[in-house]
Amino acid sequence: MKLRFAPSPTGYLHVGNARQAVANFLYARRNGGKFLLRIDDTDVARSKPEYEEGIRKDLTWLGLTWDEEARQTERLDRYAEVIEKLKASGRLYPCFESEEELKAKREMRIRAGKPPIYDRAMLKLTPEQRERAEANGKVPYWRFKLTDGSRKWQDLVMGDCSVKLTAISDPVLVRADGTILYTLASVIDDLDMDITHIVRGEDHVTNTGVQIDIADALGAKANHFTFAHLPLLLDSDGGKLSKRLDSLGLRSLRHDGVEPMTIISYLSRVGTSEDPYVMTMDEAIAGYNLANVSKSAARFDMTQLLALNRKALHSLTFDQVKDQLPKEATEDFWNAVRGNVDLAAEIPHWWEVTHGEIVPPSQPEDREFLQLALNTLPEEPWDEGTWKKWTTALKEQSGRKGKALFMPLRLALTGEDNGPELHVLLGLMGHERTTSRLRDAILA
């Protein structure tokens, strides 16, 4: 068994692309198969080395490893060979119509109530007509003659699938400048590289019908590949994700401090009936099952991802998280804040709270209470009982309790209306910082 993830380096990966990478990887590993990374860079105008580098970096960060890799632009000689064969067999046929001519034809067909598919006029071109066109300086591009019928397959996610080839225009597979299109290059690669399972987005269903036809023309046996088309992942408003717009990009999730295993766990369960929980990679592999993937589009739920990430961060030990913490951070600090952050990007703020500077918000109606808090703050040395001693005294002298007692203190000491336990933070902040913060809050 061998699977592949074949992104085009035309942008940075978003969570939708990542869903496919994760599905291919987990499925391959679950079944003892191989996993190949193939960079589909035949679209030279849009492909960029920095995107390719970005893709590798994001996949590596996620913890996905691949056994082989390939790049389409390194296989151009092989493609040329196959293209010649398809031309010789007549399956690739030369076309000379311009964009404008094709547009006019499409409009005519629509007016005549016919589907706007290519009429195969160029199939009837005589050798003389072709010579004349070339003598006039026209260079052909090449279409693939689809068979007249439907291509069917049993999809691991979508079930029975069928694509009616008579309802599709013969696809252009070679441009006038001789460059190959993705649709053909990808079939040649999948055959040459012994890919057995093609797991990709639902946007490829029509391509699959065409590609089965191409694979057949290249001599592949029936049902050579097993297909699984996973529904697209939409943003929370149901909108399309786009590599070009960098929407929900892996890079930005990484920079915000989402843990890679949060993403793997989430993506392995999104669009299934099973709830995600924070898994190890081994658990994700062992529990992955394409049969659980729903046929309908799934929405990416940031709130759910953050809740999962909070749990993932909570479970990290000081040693595991050290690299993401401020340089001087201690284990006590991590233990105090670890249950209260959704994103690692929030950690520096808590470091400022316990060891740096913050500007407390103004609480004019609580100034007197804060002054009382300052007056009753126990002198050093502090110990485990200091918080209790302080708040008991404060409670007695102010007559406050519950939220009225704790919220002004929390706001004055941390600048936030929620966060780690105050008694733990107090110990980390120390007497001097606590005093000056209360003073600042009184003056704010």
Ligand X SMILES: Nc1ncnc2c1ncn2[C@@H]1O[C@H](COP(=O)(O)OP(=O)(O)OP(=O)(O)O)[C@@H](O)[C@H]1O
Minimum distance from residue 11 beta carbon to ligand X (Å):
6
232 scored as a contact of ligand X (CB under 6 A): yes
Q: Which residues contact 387 (CB under 8 A, 6 or more apart)?
A: 422, 423, 426, 427
- Please list every residue from 9 through 28 that binds ligand X, using CB under 6 A: 10-11, 16-17, 19-20
Q: How many CA atoms lie within 13 A of 434 on its CB side?
A: 25
Binding residue for ligand X (CB under 6 A) from 3, 8, 155, 313? 8
Which helix (H) or strand (E) segment holds residue 174: the answer is: strand 172-174
Minimum distance from residue 229 beta carbon to ligand X (Å):
8
What distance, in Å, lies between the first and last C-alpha atoms of the chain? 66
203 versus 368: smaller Cβ distance to ligand X: 203
d(CA 97, CA 117): 14
164 annotated among ligand-binding-site residues: no
205 versus 316: smaller Cβ distance to ligand X: 205
- What's 247's DSSP letter? T
Number of residues interacting with ligand X: please give it, by CB under 6 A.
18
241 versus 429: smaller Cβ distance to ligand X: 241
Binding residue for ligand X (CB under 6 A) from 218, 233, 336, 413? 233
201 versus 326: smaller Cβ distance to ligand X: 201
In the structure encoding, which two tokens stand for residue 327, read together?
A: 């340089």
d(CA 298, CA 18): 14
| Phi, psi at 47, each rounded to 5° | -80, 140
List helix spans (H) across 287-384.
302-314, 318-321, 331-337, 347-355, 367-376
181 versus 444: smaller Cβ distance to ligand X: 181
Widest CA span in the chain? 105
248 versus 377: smaller Cβ distance to ligand X: 248
200 versus 400: smaller Cβ distance to ligand X: 200
d(CA 409, CA 431): 14
38 scored as a contact of ligand X (CB under 6 A): no
Minimum distance from residue 360 beta carbon to ligand X (Å):
43
Q: Which residues contact 422 (CB under 8 A, 6 or more apart)?
A: 387, 406, 409, 410, 413, 414
335-364 b/e (C-beta count within 10 Å ≥ 16 → b) = ebbbebbbbbebbebbbebbbeebebeebe
- Please list every residue from 236 through 295 that binds ligand X, using CB under 6 A: 241-244
Minimum distance from residue 207 beta carbon to ligand X (Å):
9
Minimum distance from residue 265 beta carbon to ligand X (Å):
17
231 versus 419: smaller Cβ distance to ligand X: 231
- Please list every residue from 181 through 200 that binds ligand X, using CB under 6 A: 200
Binding residue for ligand X (CB under 6 A) from 33, 63, 201, 287? 201
Count the neighbouring beta carbons within 10 Å of the beta carbon of residue 333: 22
206 versus 315: smaller Cβ distance to ligand X: 206
d(CA 142, CA 175): 7
| Strand 141-144 relative to strand 172-174, pairing | antiparallel
In terms of Cα–Cα distance, which of 53, 41, 44, 42 is closest to 13?
53
206 scored as a contact of ligand X (CB under 6 A): no
Binding piece for ligand X, criterion CB under 6 A, among 4-12, 29-37, 56-64, 88-96? 4-12
Minimum distance from residue 428 beta carbon to ligand X (Å):
43
User: What are the CA-CA distances from residue 222 to residues 146, 216, 218 (Å)?
Assistant: 16, 7, 11
Minimum distance from residue 65 beta carbon to ligand X (Å):
18
Minimum distance from residue 200 beta carbon to ligand X (Å):
3
The answer to whether 24 touches 5, Cβ cutoff 8 Å, is: yes
Minimum distance from residue 230 beta carbon to ligand X (Å):
6
Minimum distance from residue 231 beta carbon to ligand X (Å):
7
301 versus 416: smaller Cβ distance to ligand X: 301
The answer to whether 41 touches 72, Cβ cutoff 8 Å, is: yes
What residue numbers does the annotated binding site for ATP cover? 243
Binding site for ligand X (CB under 6 A): 7-8, 10-11, 16-17, 19-20, 200-201, 203-204, 232-233, 241-244
What residue numbers does the annotated binding site cover? 243
